[in-house]
Amino acid sequence: MKKIIGLTSIVIGLFALAACGGGETAGSGSSKASEATNQLEEIKEAGVLKVGTSADFAPFEFHAMIDGKDTIVGADIDMVNALAKELGIPKVEFSDMEFNAVLAALEQGQVDIAVSGISATEERKKSIDFTMNYFLPEQKVIVHKDNLDKYKEVSDLSGKKVGAQKGSIQESIVKDQLPDSQIVSVPKVPSLVLELKQGSIDALVAESAVAESYVGQNDDIAIADVALETAEDEAYAIALPKGSTELQEALNEALQKLIDDGEIAEFVQKNTDLANENASK
C-alpha cells in the first residue's frame, strides 16, 4: 500500500511541473472548440460535466459496490467531483470505456473532458489540450511472487513477455525501457493481472499506486526491484478539446487549490484503501 507521505511528496513535487503541464490552447478540436465557443459556459448552462474514463485503473478509477450498487469510484473521480463543485457545476456524468477509446471520445465531442490517469505527452498535445499536471507517478514492474528473485534488473526481462495497458504510457515505457522484451498490449489492467497470475505473461508495467493496489488484492503477485525511469511527460493531467481556454484556466485554478490543500494525495490514499477493501469482500 502506498504511504501517504510518499504520495504527498510526489504531489508537492508537481508544483515545479505546473508551469509546463498545460497543453497548447490554439488550434481546432471538437465542434465546440472549432466554433470558438466558450465550453465552460456551455457546460455550466447544461448543468452537467460529461467525463470520459476507463474504470479499470484502481485506485484512480474503478468499480466498487457502494450501498449495494455498482459504482465508479477512485481518486480521479473524487477529484473531478471536487472540481465540478468548485466550478459551480451541479452534476457530473461519467462514461466508462476502454482506455484507448477515451481520447477519441473527447476529440469527437462525446465528452467534455477525459480523466483516466492520462499522461500529457507531447504527441497527445498535438491534438488535445491539457490542464496542469496533478500527479506524477512512478513506474513499477509486477511479477509473480515466485519469480521475485528471478527479475531484479531490466536485463532479466530480455526475451520475456511484458504486459501493458493498450494505449497507455506504460505501453511506451515497455517499448523504450525494455526494448529486448516482448510487449503484450491488453485493453484492461485486470486482464493483464489475470494473465500474469496464469503465466501467460512474465511481468507487467503499471503506475506505482495502481501496482500496489493490485498487489494488495492478490497475494501471489509482487512488485519487482526492476528500476524504471520516470519522465515529466508521464505526469497525469486532465485532457480537454483543443481551444478550451476558459475551461482550462478554470480547471487549473481549481486544481491548484486541491494540490495546495493536499487533497489529491488524500484521494489516492483513500481509494487505495477502498480498492483493497472491496477486493476482500
Res 177: pLDDT: 96
Which DSSP state fits 48?
A: E
Res 27: pLDDT: 38
The number of angstroms, rounded, from the C-alpha of 163 to the middle of its chain's C-alpha atoms is 17
Res 37: pLDDT: 65
Res 232: pLDDT: 82
Tell me which of 22-36, 89-103, 130-144 is least confident. 22-36
Beta bridge partners of 50: 93
pLDDT in tens, 71-127: 999 999 999 999 999 999 999 999 999 999 999 999 999 999 999 999 999 999 999
Mean pLDDT in residue range 8-31: 39
Residue with cell 478509477: 61
Nearest to 115 by CA among 36, 30, 207, 49: 49
Mean pLDDT in residue range 202-225: 93
What is the rounded distance in angstroms from the CA atom of residue 195 to the CA atom of residue 191? 6
Answer whether 156's CB lies under 8 Å from 226's CB. yes
Q: Is 76 left (phi over 0), alpha (psi -120 to 50) or beta?
A: alpha
Reduced to 3 states (helix: H, G, I; strand: E, B; else coil), residue 267 is: helix
Beta bridge partners of 64: 71
Res 234: pLDDT: 84
Beta bridge partners of 51: 94, 113
Reduced to 3 states (helix: H, G, I; strand: E, B; else coil), residue 193 is: helix
Mean pLDDT in residue range 255-264: 96
pLDDT higher than 70, residue 12: no
Has this prediction a pTM greater than 0.75? no
User: Quick one: pLDDT band at residue 275, thresholds 50, 70, 90?
Assistant: confident
Which DSSP state fits 2?
A: -
pLDDT higher than 80, residue 22: no
Answer whether 216's CB lies under 8 Å from 276's CB. yes
Which whole-number Å values give the CA distances from 254 to 81, 110, 240, in the listed order?
A: 11, 23, 15
Beta bridge partners of 142: 204, 223
What is the rounded distance in angstroms from the CA atom of residue 230 to the CA atom of residue 268? 19
Res 217: pLDDT: 87
Cis (ω within 30 of 0) for the bond into 137?
Answer: no
Which DSSP state fits 147?
A: G
Average pLDDT of the chain to the nearest whole number: 87
pLDDT in tens, 179-201: 999 999 999 999 999 999 999 99
Res 279: pLDDT: 66
